[in-house]
Amino acid sequence: MSAPGGTLLAIGTKKGLWLARSDDRRSWSVSGPHWLMHEVPSVAIDTRAGRTRLLVGVRSEHWGPTVAHSDDLGQTWVEPERGAIRFPSDSGAAVERIWQLQPDAPDRPGVVWAGCEPISVWRSDDGGEHFELNRALWDHPHRPQWGAGYGGAAAHSIAPSPADPDTVHVAMSTGGVYRTTDGGASWTARNTGISAYFLPEPNPEFGQCVHKIARDAEVSERLYAQNHHGVYRTDDAGDTWKSIADGLPSDFGFVMLTHPTRGGTAWVIPLKADGERIPPEGRLAVHRTTDGGQTWTRFDSGLPHQEFNAVLRDAAAVDTADPTGVYFGTRGGEVHASADEGASFTAVAAHLPDVLCVRAALI
């Protein structure tokens, strides 16, 4: 650990934001709640541009959603006077929830992406203070046929390519994976091989319920997907996907994480099934591959012996340390941290509201 400020873990919940700090990623001091009684479905820790900026996509049940930021680790928050993220008036739409806040590559400081409900993708060029709707995806001819998962219809995963600033992958529920290679001017569905068993035609061009995608650290054309049943990998930037679910106790779940620097390494947290959204046998475990999904290893050291709460799609994250830290929270309000790439965990917090998102960074 070389970061002078240690590790910061941001925990977004159903009723506010908590911040945890640690020097060794084993013992943690937790502060909060910030944004009490606000749902926090998205958070980002942007360490580019020589500062640590916290971005939160908050939503009040009464007063609606917005994006706010803090440059002093949550002591004060700035909500842009005119609102950070608002649909243009001609769209006739209104932001319901900010599902994703994703800083772009390190060499593109200032660029931050947002994924929202209704299904839409937004880009900020000023560090998340103002976002602009991506019109090409909003006007996509498929949009009338995109649907809503249980949690709402949202673009929940945005994976910019560090190798090519014009290439971005987006995943939505339901709709599947879409890719732009021209900087967002056009988008094409990229779901061949991903099943949509809940549709009359189980292999459609689009309509899949992809729960999360993550890009490989070393091969930019390689991505991983946790689907609504199905775990997949693509080696051709989404043109085709193949199953990598063999070796997992279940192919259902929400989480997909990739290593920040090492190719072929990814983590999932399986749940038993669509109709039984609990850890298999009530035993919570993280599964890691180091060979691109050919084999998986189960880890549960330090985790509760019994757990019947799910881990949601953004309630898991990695940091950029070596060895990499792995973090996740449950809908039961427990948060776990691993300082050894998932091999063992220690508890960060318990009895919080439902954990909706976590993000970690060295500061």
Partner 1 sequence: MPGADLTRGADGIGRARSADDIEGAGGTVTVVLPRMLVDAAGGQRRLAVALDAGATVADLLDRLGEQHPRLERRVRDEAGGLRRFVNVYLDGEEVRGLAGPATPVRPGQEIRILQSVAGG
Which residues would be at the binding site for partner 1 (CB under 8 A)?
37, 60-64, 66, 79, 81-83, 86-87, 89, 91-95
Smallest separation, CB 65 to partner 1 (Å): 9
Residue with tokens 């072929």: 264
User: CB under 8 Å, gap of 24 or more: what pairs does 141-148 form?
Assistant: 142/175, 142/189, 142/206, 143/119, 145/206, 145/207, 146/119, 146/172, 146/174, 146/175, 146/206, 146/207, 147/174, 147/175, 147/207, 148/173, 148/174
Closer Cβ to partner 1, 39 or 307, answer by number: 39
The letter for the amino acid at 341 is E
Smallest separation, CB 61 to partner 1 (Å): 5
Smallest separation, CB 66 to partner 1 (Å): 7
Smallest separation, CB 287 to partner 1 (Å): 32
- How does strand 97-103 pair with strand 286-289? unpaired
Residue with tokens 């941001």: 10
Closer Cβ to partner 1, 341 or 354, answer by number: 354
Smallest separation, CB 62 to partner 1 (Å): 4
First to last CA, the chain: 11
Closer Cβ to partner 1, 103 or 353, answer by number: 353
Smallest separation, CB 41 to partner 1 (Å): 15
Closer Cβ to partner 1, 61 or 201, answer by number: 61
Closer Cβ to partner 1, 266 or 356, answer by number: 356
Smallest separation, CB 81 to partner 1 (Å): 6
Smallest separation, CB 330 to partner 1 (Å): 18
* Distance set, CA 80 to CA 77, 83, 97, 303, 314 (Å): 10, 5, 17, 40, 25
Cβ atoms 16, 36 nearer than 8 A? yes
Closer Cβ to partner 1, 2 or 89, answer by number: 89
> Which helix or strand (DSSP H or E) is residue 157 part of?
strand 154-160
Nearest to 34 by CA among 26, 25, 22, 43: 43
Cβ atoms 296, 288 nearer than 8 A? yes
Closer Cβ to partner 1, 95 or 155, answer by number: 95
Closer Cβ to partner 1, 87 or 198, answer by number: 87
CA dist., res. 303 & res. 172, Å (int)? 30
Question: How big is the chain by its Cα radius of gyration, in Å?
Answer: 19
